[in-house]
């Protein structure tokens, strides 16, 4: 990579052999990367689409029309619609506490936030089962008051929130640290209280961190399987989400049903990503000058390419 780009930089000299070699290196690197992406990302996803539509569009439409699919789809949507706002608001509040406040236990809290990343979703599911199951004190207390958590939607939402908890926090904390406290302090000296400073200064400065965190949260919340599967009990028509529906259809040898649910899941994720890209490019065209931190990966590929001399 370095060899290729440095050779390109000096390659203007008419030394044929050198230029030819650097071109060969560049094409080889490019080929390897494309093959890697194709084998790991493109091919599997494409195969799902191909297999789903093997028998034409009819079976797919039919599979979508089935009540079991409809129930699973709307349950997934419902869980996501509840999870995302909770994770976003609590995520921003937690991020502010970690990045802006000094209090005893801050380091512990900071480490604790990563727990959902470290734990297997199965373990998360089982641990929720232990706390909120009807055999436990908390679960029993809630059950006595008519609230069923495990094997019901509340437990599934809890599991999804648990799994999605770190995304917004981990996106927003670095942005908060990067922008520093200067702008907030400037707002204070200009007469803005903490609340107005948050809405008018801090929030606009971290909004790209939040947007990216929300996208990750949404994608994960749509696609979560392990933890949700454990606490749901997979009660047909009641606690089956799209992901568990895929598994259930697959095990019932309903291949078209499984692939149909899969492409719907993939389609929803794609929609989220495309929506983000549109939002992003809309912002670029409006010419607003604040840059989303580069860690947010949304840089147009062309600039990245031209900067490294088209190494790949």
What is the contact surface with another protein in residues (CB under 8 A)?
A: 182-183, 185-193, 196, 200-201, 204-205, 288-291
Q: What's the min distance (Å) between Cβ of 196 and another protein? A: 6
Written as one string, the DSSP assignment of 22-40 is HHHHHHHHHHHHHHHHIII
Is the CB of 63 or the CB of 206 nearer to another protein? 206
Are the C-beta atoms of residues 151 and 235 closer than 8 Å to each other?
Answer: yes
> Which residues make Cβ contacts (< 8 Å) with residue 87, sequence separation at least 6?
161, 164, 165, 167, 168, 217, 221
Distance (Å, rounded) from C-alpha 312 to C-alpha 310? Answer: 6
Distance of closest approach, residue 110 Cβ to another protein, in angstroms: 19
Coil vs helix vs strand at 292: coil
Q: Tell me whether residue 147 or residue 203 sits nearer to another protein (CB atom).
A: 203
Nearer to another protein, 17 or 191 (CB): 191
CB of 181 to another protein, least distance (A): 9
Could you tell me how far CA 85 lies from the centroid of its own chain?
A: 14
3-state DSSP assignment of residue 149: coil
Whose Cβ is closer to another protein: residue 189's or residue 302's? 189
Whole-number minimum distance, CB 96 to another protein, in Å?
18
Cβ-based nearer residue to another protein, 114 or 291: 291
Q: Report the number of secondary-structure helices (H) and strands (E) in the chain.
A: 17, 0
Residue 306 beta carbon to another protein: minimum distance, rounded to whole angstroms: 21
List all residues 6 or more positions away from 205 whose beta carbon is below 8 Å from its beta carbon: 175, 179, 183, 290
Cα–Cα distance for residue pair 143/164, rounded to 1 Å? 26
Instruction: Report yes or no: 257 and 111 within 8 Å, Cβ to Cβ.
Output: no
Q: In angstroms, give the least distance from the CB of 203 to another protein.
A: 10
Shortest gap between Cβ of 209 and another protein (angstroms)? 13
Kindly tell me which of 58 and 204 has the beta carbon lying closer to another protein.
204
Q: Which residues of 15-48 are buried (b: 16+ CB within 10 A; e: fewer)?
A: eeeebeebeebbeeeeeeeeeeeeeeeeeeeeeb
Which residue, 114 or 290, has its beta carbon nearer to another protein? 290
**Of 106 and 238, which has the nearer Cβ to another protein?**
106
Which residues touch 95 (CB under 8 Å, ≥6 apart)? 168, 169, 172, 173, 176, 206
CB of 288 to another protein, least distance (A): 7
Structural element, H or E, at residue 284? helix 255-286
């Amino acid at each position: 990579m370095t060899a290729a780009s440095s050779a390109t930089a000096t390659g203007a000299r008419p030394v044929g052999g050198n230029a030819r070699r650097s071109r060969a290196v560049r094409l080889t690197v490019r080929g390897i990367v494309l093959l890697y992406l194709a084998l790991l990302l493109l091919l599997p996803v494409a195969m799902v689409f191909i297999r789903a539509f093997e028998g034409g569009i009819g079976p797919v439409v039919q599979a979508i029309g089935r009540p079991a699919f409809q129930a699973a789809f709307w349950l997934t949507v419902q869980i996501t619609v509840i999870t995302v706002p909770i994770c976003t608001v609590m995520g921003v509040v937690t991020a502010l506490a970690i990045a802006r406040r000094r209090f005893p236990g801050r380091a512990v809290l900071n480490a604790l936030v990563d727990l959902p990343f470290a734990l297997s979703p199965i373990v998360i599911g089982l641990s929720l089962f232990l706390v909120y199951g009807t055999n436990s004190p908390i679960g029993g207390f809630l059950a006595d008051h008519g609230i069923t958590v495990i094997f019901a939607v509340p437990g599934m939402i809890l599991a999804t929130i648990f799994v999605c908890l770190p995304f917004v926090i981990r996106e927003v904390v670095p942005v908060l640290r990067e922008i520093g406290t200067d702008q907030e302090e400037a707002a204070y000296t200009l007469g803005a209280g903490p609340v107005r400073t948050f809405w008018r200064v801090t929030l606009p400065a971290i909004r790209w961190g939040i947007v990216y965190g929300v996208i990750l949260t949404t994608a994960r919340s749509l696609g979560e399987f392990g933890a949700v599967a454990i606490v749901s009990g997979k009660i047909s028509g009641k606690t089956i989400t799209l992901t568990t529906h895929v598994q259930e259809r697959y095990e019932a040898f309903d291949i078209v049903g499984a692939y149909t649910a899969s492409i719907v899941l993939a389609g929803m994720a794609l929609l989220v990503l495309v929506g983000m890209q549109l939002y992003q490019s809309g912002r670029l065209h409006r010419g607003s000058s604040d840059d989303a931190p580069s860690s947010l990966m949304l840089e147009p590929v062309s600039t990245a390419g031209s900067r490294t001399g088209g190494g790949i």
